[in-house]
């Protein structure tokens, strides 16, 4: 079976004694900073429903929501028994283990608190946050690829990789599939939706489009991604990622229907 040689990139970019700078951490930083700058730019465009200053001050809240929510989501959704038996390891985020669905809920809670404290229209603000989120998803999936984690199922496609910790067989580079769909494609689609006055002026529509876009992308890619070893296939042959994404798609459809009936 043909396979592309995996690029042996050290997960640690540089190390100074016990301090290591990892590509994974840099991916989170890049996603947050670029998303923050993009959000400020969007807020400065004609017709924006969010002030530039409000977008500028949101970075710290976004960081807390992503890290706390992502880590707790991974602990509760994927390895609750293990972490309840080893609670101190919950704090060891440098060992990996983040959940997008948990990070999404974390940012949602952080945004709700932030908007209430600043008297900002929640749905208008979360719409803008949704537009920039694919940037972070893109960099996160590229970091997963560099770390040789979350790889795909075995295959004979000509672009398959033999991952160093994925056994001897060629596998789908599912991390790159996700970077493309959840990252680049969703980024372009949401930007095009945001540019339309009829949708931007109905807070909630863009957030609904994000939920649908991410949920469908994740459901599709999960057919090529190897399920987590400790979970395997669940009800009906679905994966945990698919089961968590179905409610997102349904919520997105309901949110769009609700937002289209509301007035600004």
Q: Which residue has the higher pLDDT, 188 or 71?
A: 188
Strands (E), 2-125: 12-16, 19-22
What is the band of 250 on the pLDDT scale with cuts at 50, 70, 90?
very high
Range of weakest confidence among 57-71, 73-87, 88-102, 118-132: 88-102
Q: Which residue has the higher pLDDT, 195 or 21?
A: 195
Residue 98, pLDDT > 80, answer no
Instruction: Mark the binding-site residues, compressed into ranges.
Output: 141
pLDDT of residue 96: 62
Residue 221, pLDDT > 50, answer yes
What is the band of 264 on the pLDDT scale with cuts at 50, 70, 90?
very low
CA 246 to chain centre: 15
- Stretch 97-110: mean pLDDT, rounded? 83
pLDDT of residue 34: 96
pLDDT of residue 95: 61
- Stretch 54-73: mean pLDDT, rounded? 89
Residue 263, pLDDT > 60, answer no
What is the band of 127 on the pLDDT scale with cuts at 50, 70, 90?
very high
pLDDT of residue 4: 84
Report the SS3 class of residue 99. Answer: coil
Alpha-carbon distance values, 10 to 7, 31, 100, 136, 176 (Å): 9, 20, 24, 21, 18
CA distance 165 to 148: 7
Range of weakest confidence among 69-83, 108-122, 137-151, 183-197: 69-83
CA 182 to chain centre: 8
| Average pLDDT, rounded, for the chain | 88
- Stretch 151-169: mean pLDDT, rounded? 91
List beta partners, residue 19: 16
User: What does the domain layout of the chain look like in residue ranges?
Assistant: 17-261
Segment 175-204, tens digit of pLDDT: 999 999 999 999 999 999 999 999 999 999
pLDDT of residue 167: 87
């Amino acid at each position: 079976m043909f396979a592309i040689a995996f690029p042996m990139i050290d997960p640690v970019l540089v190390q100074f004694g016990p301090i290591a700078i990892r590509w994974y951490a840099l991916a989170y930083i890049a996603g947050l900073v670029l998303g923050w700058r993009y959000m400020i730019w969007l807020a400065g465009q004609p017709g924006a429903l969010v002030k530039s200053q409000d977008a500028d001050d949101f970075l710290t809240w976004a960081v807390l929501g992503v890290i706390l929510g992502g880590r707790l989501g991974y602990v509760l959704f994927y390895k609750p028994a293990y972490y309840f038996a080893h609670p101190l390891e919950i704090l060891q985020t440098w060992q990996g283990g983040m959940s997008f669905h948990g990070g999404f809920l974390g940012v949602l809670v952080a945004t709700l608190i932030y908007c209430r404290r600043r008297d900002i229209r929640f749905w208008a603000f979360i719409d803008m946050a949704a537009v920039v989120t694919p940037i972070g998803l893109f960099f996160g999936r590229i970091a997963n690829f560099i770390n040789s984690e979350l790889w795909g199922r075995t295959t004979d496609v000509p672009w398959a990789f033999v991952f160093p910790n994925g056994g001897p067989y060629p596998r789908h580079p599912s991390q790159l599939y996700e970077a493309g769909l959840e990252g680049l494609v969703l980024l372009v689609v949401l930007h095009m939706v945001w540019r339309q006055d009829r949708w931007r002026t109905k807070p909630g529509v863009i957030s609904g489009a994000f939920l649908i876009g991410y949920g469908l992308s994740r459901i599709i890619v999960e057919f090529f991604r190897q399920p987590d070893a400790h979970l395997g296939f669940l009800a009906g042959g679905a994966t945990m990622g698919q089961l968590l994404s179905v409610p997102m798609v349904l919520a997105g459809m309901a949110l769009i229907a609700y937002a289209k009936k509301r007035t600004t």
